[in-house]
């Protein structure tokens, strides 16, 4: 078995997000076209001898553009919880040393914690040669959060219901700029504002599926939560307006905020625009592109994860 696995935890962007009114359980049904990008966190997991207690470290990557205090308990971290969930499901200890280096801002609507959990599941699969099928990990991950099943494989998918219905979508290479305002958009507060603004909201799944099929350009992404997020965080609305005025193109909100994004024509367009937003508007921004989850490094050698290759056995 390998001794060290390095996995990438990509950010996810909602290129389309339609939200319905809450059901009797208080949960909001959605239809969303989700994609993963080449901007994300780095996870390194080292196998420890049997019987050794696992240990975890979480820190900001040197390249992180928007940092906040890492003040949550380790037991609450989604990567740590994913480790515990897999151990419990398999009925065996998987002792590891984890180092998580974060670039994705906390609470940014980019699924950072969920992606960390998915990366941990893929890393453990490779590290202990478990050869688990992606469907197994997706089912296991439903207890960790609605975005985690999608992020097990990443890429491009339409997610519906409460996140439990996932259909793979066409891969469109989409260049974009991610913008990180200094704004707080608590998910619960955003959904409460959404309910006040759109009490009779209905999910428009056909619109989401159509956009996922044809691909996104500068003005086609949409997000039913954008107005509510700007209502909860006026600073988000201010930065959005400033960036739109500067870039002269639509600026979109990912998830429940606070990350903004712009769809670009090319890698050069995205690079130049990200630098200009940082210099002229004074808000951190980074260029990226959508794509499948990259291969992992197993003992320093690149390898496609079992959970993505589809070569694994059922557990």
Q: d(Cα 56, Cα 35) in Å, to the nearest integer?
A: 28
What values do phi and psi take at 303, rounded to 5? -155, 140
Residue 136, classified by CB atoms within 10 Å of its CB into exposed (0-12), middle (13-18) or buried (19+), is buried
Strands 55-60 and 96-102: parallel
Residue 111 Rama label (left phi>0; alpha psi -120 to 50; beta): left
Does residue 271 have an active-site annotation? no
CB contact at 8 A, 125 and 312: yes
* Cα→Cα distances 54→70, 74, 78, 131, 175, Å: 20, 12, 15, 21, 39
Please identify which of the residues 12, 41, 77, 224 carries the catalytic annotation.
12
Token pair listed for 132 = 């688990």
Please identify which of the residues 41, 77, 125, 147 carries the catalytic annotation.
147
Does residue 12 have an active-site annotation? yes
**Closest CA relative to residue 144, chosen from 203, 61, 95, 83:** 83
CB contact at 8 A, 178 and 261: yes
- Residues classed as catalytic: 12, 147
């Amino acid at each position: 078995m390998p001794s060290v696995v390095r996995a990438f935890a990509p950010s996810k962007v909602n290129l389309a997000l339609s939200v319905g009114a809450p059901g009797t359980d208080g949960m909001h049904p959605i239809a969303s076209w989700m994609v993963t990008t080449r901007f994300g966190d780095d996870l390194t997991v080292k196998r420890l001898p049997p019987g050794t207690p696992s240990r975890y470290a979480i820190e900001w990557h040197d390249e992180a553009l928007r940092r906040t205090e890492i003040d949550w308990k380790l037991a609450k971290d989604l990567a740590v919880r994913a480790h515990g969930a897999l151990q419990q499901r398999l009925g065996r200890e998987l002792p590891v040393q984890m180092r998580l280096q974060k670039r994705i801002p906390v609470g940014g609507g980019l699924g950072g914690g969920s992606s960390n959990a998915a990366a941990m599941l893929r890393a453990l699969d490779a590290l202990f040669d478990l050869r688990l099928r992606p469907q197994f990990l997706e089912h296991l991950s439903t207890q960790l959060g609605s975005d985690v099943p999608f992020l097990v494989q990443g890429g491009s998918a339409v997610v519906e219901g409460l996140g439990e219905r996932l259909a793979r979508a066409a891969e469109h290479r989409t260049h974009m700029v991610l913008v990180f305002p200094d704004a707080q958009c608590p998910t619960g507060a955003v959904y409460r504002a959404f309910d006040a603004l759109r009490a009779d909201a209905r999910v428009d799944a056909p619109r989401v599926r159509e956009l996922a099929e044809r691909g996104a350009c500068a003005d086609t992404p949409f997000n039913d939560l954008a107005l509510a997020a700007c209502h909860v965080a006026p600073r988000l609305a201010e930065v959005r307006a400033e960036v739109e005025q500067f870039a002269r193109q639509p600026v979109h909100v990912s998830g429940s905020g606070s990350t903004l994004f712009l769809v670009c024509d090319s890698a050069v367009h995205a690079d130049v625009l990200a630098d200009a937003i940082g210099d002229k508007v004074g808000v951190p921004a980074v260029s990226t592109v959508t794509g499948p989850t990259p291969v992992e490094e197993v003992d320093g050698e690149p390898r496609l994860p079992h959970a993505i290759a589809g070569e694994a056995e059922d557990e």
